[in-house]
Amino acid sequence: MTDERRVAIIGSGNIGTDLMIKVIRTSKDLAVAAMAGIDPESDGLARARRMGVATTHEGVEGLVAMPEFADVRVVLDATSAGAHRHNAKVLEPYGKKLVDLTPAAIGPYVVPAVNIDEHLAAPNVNMVTCGGQATVPVVAAVSRVAPVRYAEIVASIASRSAGPGTRANIDEFTETTSRALEEVGGAAKGKAIIVLNPAEPPLIMRDTVYCVVGDCDHGEVRASIDKMIADVAAYVPGYRLKQRVQIRPVAGDDPLAPLAGGEGQLVSVFLEVEGAAHYLPAYAGNLDIMTSAALRVAERMAAL
């Protein structure tokens, strides 16, 4: 393992801890040099120490003061949108690559299966949101074979898997995901909705994607979506279609007709994301897809 492939993680909560364990257990290209948090009693920092990872509870300022920081090439930020803005300013002088798992969206949006090659040289890339990582690929798959006039997604996650960071960033979630549907997915107009499902036992992440398009070849649309599902599943094994893609006409007095320019097709895609259960429970697919996608980006960045 060379020093150029060492990473640091900011945030010792659920996402940061799961990411650390993923790197240690599954990555052949990366090593965790350090983890930074702000709670000295956090389970994440305690686990990191037990796994031989250097730690600090003094946040990003503590991280940059650590001797291990000199060897770090990529920093993964699993804090919050507000904290990331501060962390990015502190890290900027050091020339490290920054992978942002919050909805802060300082850097370009990256969804590995769609546009990873376009932004590997960027100093700060944003992983959109869990809903974005799950649904933007589907919108992109449709838009590469038929112009998407409108895309709407509903991300339903277990209430238990929505921690304080997720709950504090609901507005950022909807705004960031909507923009990513347009900027990365290729939709002319995007809308995102998140549902915190209180069901017991907790249900795994479910995502519904609606794309309003003009005339299209149904076979081409389904084939494009199937290929994209396979591309995402290559780094998120629990990502899958829940049922066959549905396509129906939109015309006349259909409420969607104005979005279709008078007439067109509605493509409906139903997904589920099961977590790998490295640290988080399997129902927390919303968190697993974020850490899996961030790991894929960090591996590619560190290899440059």
Per-residue pLDDT tens over the stretch 209-259: 999 999 899 999 999 999 999 999 999 999 999 999 999 999 989 999 898
Per-residue pLDDT tens over the stretch 7-31: 999 999 999 999 999 999 999 999 9
CA distance 287 to 243: 22
| Mean predicted lDDT score pLDDT of the chain | 95
Bridge partners for 98 per DSSP? 75, 124
CA distance 127 to 133: 7
Q: How far is CA 144 from CA 136, 140, 177, 186, 224, in A?
A: 12, 6, 19, 8, 8
Q: Domain map of the chain by residue range?
A: 3-128+288-302, 130-281
Q: Is the peptide bond before 201 cis (omega within 30 degrees of 0)?
A: yes
Annotated binding site: 12-15, 161-169, 286
CA distance 235 to 216: 29
Residues 6 or more apart in contact with residue 126 via CB below 8 angstroms: 100, 102, 103, 104, 105, 106, 107, 108, 109, 110, 176
Amino acid 1: pLDDT: 41
Per-residue pLDDT tens over the stretch 129-170: 999 999 999 999 999 999 999 999 999 999 999 877 778 778
Catalytic residue among 30, 38, 76, 130: 130
Amino acid 171: pLDDT: 86
Neighbour tally for 27: CB within 10 Å: 17
CA distance 266 to 199: 29
Per-residue pLDDT tens over the stretch 36-83: 999 999 999 999 999 999 999 999 999 999 999 999 999 999 998 889
Residues 6 or more apart in contact with residue 302 via CB below 8 angstroms: 4, 5, 6, 7, 29, 30, 73, 74, 97
- Is the domain defined by 3-128+288-302 classed in CATH 3.40.50.300? no
Amino acid 167: pLDDT: 84
Question: Does residue 121 have a pLDDT over 50?
Answer: yes
Per-residue pLDDT tens over the stretch 245-261: 999 999 989 999 898 88
- pLDDT-based confidence at 271, cuts 50/70/90? very high
- pLDDT-based confidence at 188, cuts 50/70/90? very high
In the 3-class helix/strand/coil scheme, how is the chain assigned residue by residue?
CCHHHEEEEECCCHHHHHHHHHHHHHCCCCEEEEEECCCCCCHHHHHHHHCCCEEECCHHHHHHHCHHHHHEEEEEECCCHHHHHHHHHHHHHHCCEEEECCCCCCCCECCHHHHHHHCCCCCEEECCCHHHHHHHHHHHHHHCCCCEEEEEEEEEEEHHHCCHHHHHCHHHHHHHHHHHHHHCCCCCCEEEEEEEECCCCCCCEEEEEEEEECCCCHHHHHHHHHHHHHHHHCCCCCEEECCCCEEEEECCCCCCHHHHCCCEEEEEEEEEECCCCCCCCCCCHHHHHHHHHHHHHHHHHHCC
Q: What is the largest CA-CA distance in the chain?
A: 67
Instruction: Please report, rounded to a whole number, the percentage of residues in the chain having pLDDT higher than 90.
Output: 87
Question: Does residue 180 have a pLDDT over 60?
Answer: yes
Edge-to-edge strands, sheet with 31-36: 54-56, 31-36, 6-10, 72-77, 97-100, 124-126
Annotated binding site for NAD(+): 12-15, 161-169, 286
Q: Class of the 130-281 domain?
A: alpha beta
User: What are phi and psi for residue 119, nearest 5 degrees?
Assistant: -130, 15
Question: Does residue 6 have a pLDDT over 60?
Answer: yes
Is there a catalytic annotation at residue 130? Answer: yes
182: number of CA atoms within 13 Å, CB side? 12
Amino acid 2: pLDDT: 46
Amino acid 110: pLDDT: 98
Mean pLDDT of 182-188: 98
